[in-house]
Structure 1
């Protein structure tokens, strides 16, 4: 996929317009997903300042440490026609940015800007109000373009290929950490450039949604929750959860796994334009609560995904925002019985003009091996 399709030069103007509508004088975007979204540049996050300065009035420029200039010049940012402003080790880049900006009342800082940088900007721009750039860019980033949808489909296929291998990694007598190492290697082999996370939660550890890999030995008859994801060379992320069992599962587990399947299906079926995020959450939650497991569903039903694994929109009670074509998010209800076991089924969906399109296609039934 061409970077010009995934990171079009029109985003610079779109970001400037969004900043103007929000009443900002400029956006200051340091390395992270906001900068990459606008420019395509995956800059190294360093203590040395790299920052796209995008004034509402005036020309944009990218200030970079001198030693990072070659990388910037060979990045997709070189297509934007913005001036590259290198600075030397003994320069004060914050003062230089402030001098070029002049008097500004409100600026938007990249959501992932380091505190040491935001505080330096506060000192260099006294009296200037700082707000999150994410509140300005959120609508742009939420509505995925056809190229972004294609990138998420590619990521979904890649993580599906990893889940297809998981039964071969899971055996009684192996530790979660040993299985996790095999999965991490498979994530890279499947085409990802970065392993974002690997959760292998066996037996009672399955009741902890964000369990870390451990030395626990997997036992016969135990359910194992496998939640995995990574970042593709495109910058777009994958995230999918399936549940496996080493032999026949406990009867209590099999009973609520069936409930969980129905809940996940109900939430996926509820996705269409105009439906609120909270109503999709309710579609899953109502099924689980009706069967008596409501107190064991302890997190939101889903999160947006794109250049970050977790971004807007969030599929959660209290979020009345309507879904729109191009929104991409997870549907991942879970049931967690403390001290016993747990389960979660997760797919990434794209809201289309009519419904929801899954980008993950591995079977959702419990995989018994």
Structure 2
């Protein structure tokens, strides 16, 4: 996020302060990761040296405590405009005491979900009277509801990964290994506008029946059904994630067309069901009902979707038991799958955003089984 968007970041910091107070937390302690990116528009890394945003509830001064040698990595953050101080420390000084000195006498502190135990325990020793809880429940309520800047970044990510799927015939063909195909896809993900590829799944033939298969040295054969699940972040930090299923020539298994048609119907019905007020578990149930009624219930072995943003997997999760009602600005995948162990599998995945009157799909490649030359 650029400095021209500092007003949006300031608003996020203010909302986080308010949410912390409402949760009975005196301050949020945020380590490098997606929460820090969400609040400041940038993030470094957390090693053995402590980096921590101290964000009090209410009006207290916010400060980013960072090792001096790593401070240049935060030069792009508009600290003055955000009302955040930058406080550095050097080896030999106690960063936990530095944080404690900014906190006063807190009763309850919320630490980032991803903060290393090394630092959690260091902060606990520095502020022994304070109860520690997780910051995730406070921040996820904010992060689930994307603002216009976030949705636009997700649109760019979706269009970029669509361009990669549109080029699949360049690399996916018989006689090549999954690993070689994945290497070409990885390069294309960057070429088409991502910072990097975060994951590339090439599940050919029986490997497609494993939803989180990555790649192997298996040689793709004519007649294979191949699951391609790919994604990564764009410059703003927001992620793509899209799955399409391909066939190398005519599928060797005679049940592919009929089974795949069931999957198409399930994915389409689930997307069509999304609108404000619908519960996450109900979207899952729509996809699951279509697949179960066709006799493939035991072959749909994962949730229907997951939220997406600065993390590939985040709230809200589209799964049985999640009774949260979806709201405008929530973004998540809709990705039912059917997996036949030892034979083949298929999945169709789009990222969607809830709109005031329905849903917008951020992926627009065809949902048909794409047949490539065998």
The bucket for the TM-score relative to the shorter chain is: over 0.9
Indicate conservation of the 8 Å contact 2:284/2:318, yes or no. Answer: yes
Residue 93 (structure 1) shift: 0.2
Which residue number in structure 2 is paired with residue 17 of structure 1? 18
Which residue number in structure 1 is paired with residue 306 of structure 2? 303
Which residue number in structure 1 is paired with residue 128 of structure 2? 126
Which residue number in structure 1 is paired with residue 5 of structure 2? 5
Which residue number in structure 2 is paired with residue 315 of structure 1? 318
> What is the CA deviation profile of residues 191-248 of structure 1, one whole-angstrom value per residue up to 9, with x for unaligned ones?
1112110000000000110002111111110000000000111000000000011011
Residue 76 (structure 1) shift: 4.1
Structure 1 counterpart SS, 2:271: helix
Structure 2 counterpart SS, 1:71: helix
- Residues 235 and 76 (structure 1), Cα distance of their counterparts in 2 relative to 1, 3 Å cut: farther
Which residue number in structure 1 is paired with residue 333 of structure 2? 330
RMSD (Å), alpha carbons: 1.3
- Residues 4 and 215 (structure 1), Cα distance of their counterparts in 2 relative to 1, 3 Å cut: same
Counterpart-to-counterpart distance in 2, 1:22 and 1:192 = 36
- Residues 47 and 4 (structure 1), Cα distance of their counterparts in 2 relative to 1, 3 Å cut: farther
Which residue, out of 116, 119, 127, partners 2:118?
116
> What is the CA deviation profile of residues 160-212 of structure 1, one whole-angstrom value per residue up to 9, with x for unaligned ones?
00001112211111000000000000000011112110000000000110002
Which residue number in structure 2 is paired with residue 260 of structure 1? 263
- Residues 228 and 86 (structure 1), Cα distance of their counterparts in 2 relative to 1, 3 Å cut: same
Residue 343 (structure 1) shift: 0.5
Which residue, out of 130, 136, 156, partners 2:158?
156
Which residue number in structure 2 is paired with residue 30 of structure 1? 31
Residue 100 (structure 1) shift: 2.2
Counterpart-to-counterpart distance in 1, 2:244 and 2:81 = 41
1:221 matched to 2:223? The reply is: yes
Indicate conservation of the 8 Å contact 1:72/1:78, yes or no. Answer: no
Counterpart-to-counterpart distance in 1, 2:349 and 2:5 = 28
Between 68-77 and 115-124, report the one with greater CA deviation.
Answer: 68-77
Structure 2 counterpart SS, 1:242: strand
Residue 78 (structure 1) shift: 5.1
Residue 43 (structure 1) shift: 1.5
Indicate conservation of the 8 Å contact 2:3/2:76, yes or no. Answer: no
Residue 71 (structure 1) shift: 2.3
Residue 266 (structure 1) shift: 0.4
Counterpart-to-counterpart distance in 1, 2:181 and 2:75 = 41
- Residues 77 and 367 (structure 1), Cα distance of their counterparts in 2 relative to 1, 3 Å cut: farther
Structure 2 counterpart SS, 1:238: coil
Counterpart-to-counterpart distance in 2, 1:53 and 1:4 = 23
Indicate conservation of the 8 Å contact 2:178/2:217, yes or no. Answer: yes
Gaps of 5+ in 2: none
Between 266-275 and 245-254, report the one with greater CA deviation.
Answer: 245-254
Residue 92 (structure 1) shift: 1.1
Residue 79 (structure 1) shift: 3.1
Which residue number in structure 2 is paired with residue 294 of structure 1? 297
Q: TM (normalized to structure 2)? A: 0.96
5 Å-filtered alignment, 1:1-369, equals: 2-5=2-5, 7-57=8-58, 58-77=60-79, 79-249=81-251, 250-369=253-372
Indicate conservation of the 8 Å contact 1:41/1:76, yes or no. Answer: no
- Residues 78 and 189 (structure 1), Cα distance of their counterparts in 2 relative to 1, 3 Å cut: farther
Pairs aligned (count): 369
Counterpart-to-counterpart distance in 2, 1:4 and 1:289 = 50
Indicate conservation of the 8 Å contact 1:276/1:319, yes or no. Answer: yes
Indicate conservation of the 8 Å contact 2:333/2:350, yes or no. Answer: yes
